[in-house]
Amino acid sequence: MFLAGLTLATSLFAAAPESAQSGEGGFATQSYDDDFSYLCGQKTYKCVEDGHGGYISFGGRIREQVLEGRPDDFGLLGSKRINATLLHRLLVHADWHIRPGLRLFVELGNHLEAGRPGGPRPTDKDLLDFQQAFIDYRFMDNDSGRWTWRFGRQQITLGSYRLVAPRDNANILITFDGNVVQWQRDAWTVRALELRPVLNKPGYFDDGNDPTQRLWGVYATRNAIGPYSSVDLYWLGFDNADGKIYKLQGDDHRESYGTRFFGATPHWDYDIEPIIQRGDFADHPIKAWAFFSTSGYTLRDLPFMPRIGLRSDYASGSHHPGDGTTTTFHPLIGPAPLLTDANLNTAANLIDVDPSVDFHLTDKLTVGAHYVELWRASREDAFYGRGLIPIIPGNASRAQHIGSYHRLTTGYEFNDYVSLDLDLTHFEQGAFARAGHALAGNYVTITTYIQF
């Protein structure tokens, strides 16, 4: 899988214009934000003029990942080992700018898996389907601001990826069917959204949206409120007709109210996000909350520009699971990997502290070291894995300390097109993990990213 992807990417790089290879390329975090319009008029697949005043840009992303670890899910959910699992993701897109204010974006996805004990997970395999297919229509652009309506199948990212993100830790990125209306003016961007997540199926063009789940709300960003500061404000609703958290199951309707303060100076960087959740779950009121913070200081005058970082998170848990109130925080849908690329646990009933140091050994190579301590926020609630699955039940012990991650990371950017990440994580049990018979383990994640 990897060799096929690399061969395809190499042939496409050869066709790329020299200006793009020299660092002027318009790659963005999300493929729909790539901008190669400056290459129009050159003989390149990145900008093909349609003869009617518009243009089409072609491109894609390849991710090849190897997972090796023992034991998966701490040895508690029936799986004892990740046996060199291989994950392949190929995305190709066409971005047609029909005229100013009107655009069609179509992206196809091919996802494959090999080697996982028990076969592929639901987010591992999808032979071919529409990853994205949406239309952007700018219906107003004047002194009051720019209004754009995006409708169709789409990926969405909000803020720091703590609640809604593309689910990059899984092989298949999460997408949504629905509508997003965006307003932009000066430093403000406001999005109103009404979406349903797509249910992935392993065949050809057989994906549909999930009628039991719905994401909706408003997300606003104000950039540059000061020389080094920006702020997000949001109100997000998430409905799940088949919700499950520990001992509760039923209709989950929750609303998340949050704000995020973030920014960077030449040396300091910070990202702080408090969240309150209210609503009702299985006819029980929801009173949950979380506080996430990440900060760092970069010593730019020292060799290798070390960054000293500290991450600290609190996600509430239920003190009496199954009683009249649920206070377990829910990280909604598709959040980014938490604390390690092995993605072993989620932000529910959790306290974590993660001091770290990163070094830029060259302009292409970075290495980092993390030491993460984990505790339960509530002694009565469970320890939750990915997908909010309870790994260790709350009554396994009164102990609060779950354990620790010892983590080493490496990232190398070969050029604008190819990068390689390595994550080595060791989990050591604390008192609660030992009482719940969780096993210590070592996890390796090797990921190659290719964009063209």
Q: Kindly state the average pLDDT of the residues 132-147.
A: 96
**pLDDT over threshold 60, residue 13:** no
Taking the C-alpha atoms of residue 401 and residue 396, their distance in angstroms, rounded to an integer, is: 12
Taking the C-alpha atoms of residue 59 and residue 39, their distance in angstroms, rounded to an integer, is: 13
Instruction: State the amino acid at position 424 in one-letter form.
Output: L
Taking the C-alpha atoms of residue 279 and residue 256, their distance in angstroms, rounded to an integer, is: 9
The pLDDT, as a whole number, for residue 290 is: 98
Taking the C-alpha atoms of residue 411 and residue 93, their distance in angstroms, rounded to an integer, is: 26
Nearest to 167, CA basis, from 126, 204, 127, 124:
124
18 is written with which tokens?
Answer: 């020299």
CATH number, span 2-451? 2.40.160.100
The pLDDT, as a whole number, for residue 240 is: 96
**pLDDT over threshold 50, residue 66:** yes
Nearest to 8, CA basis, from 82, 76, 62, 83:
62
Taking the C-alpha atoms of residue 108 and residue 60, their distance in angstroms, rounded to an integer, is: 9
The pLDDT, as a whole number, for residue 171 is: 95
**pLDDT over threshold 70, residue 17:** no
Nearest to 104, CA basis, from 134, 126, 144:
134
- Phi-psi region at 106: left, alpha or beta (left = phi > 0; alpha = psi -120 to 50): beta
The pLDDT, as a whole number, for residue 134 is: 98
Taking the C-alpha atoms of residue 314 and residue 334, their distance in angstroms, rounded to an integer, is: 19
Nearest to 401, CA basis, from 442, 352, 331, 347:
352
The pLDDT, as a whole number, for residue 276 is: 98
Taking the C-alpha atoms of residue 147 and residue 140, their distance in angstroms, rounded to an integer, is: 5
> Helices (DSSP H) in 178-298: which residue ranges?
none
Distance of CA 198 to the CA centre of its chain: 16
Nearest to 168, CA basis, from 77, 261, 87:
87
Contact 158, 219 (CB under 8 A): yes
Say whether 249 sits in a helix, a strand or coil.
strand
- Phi-psi region at 390: left, alpha or beta (left = phi > 0; alpha = psi -120 to 50): beta
**Residue 15 DSSP class:** H
Backbone angles phi, psi at 2, to 5 degrees: -65, -45
Torsion sign (Cα): 48, 51, 55, 60: negative
442 is written with which tokens?
Answer: 């070592």
Give the pLDDT confidence of 94-135 residue by residue, as tens digits.
999 999 999 999 999 999 999 887 889 899 999 999 999 999
Taking the C-alpha atoms of residue 421 and residue 409, their distance in angstroms, rounded to an integer, is: 7
**pLDDT over threshold 70, residue 2:** no
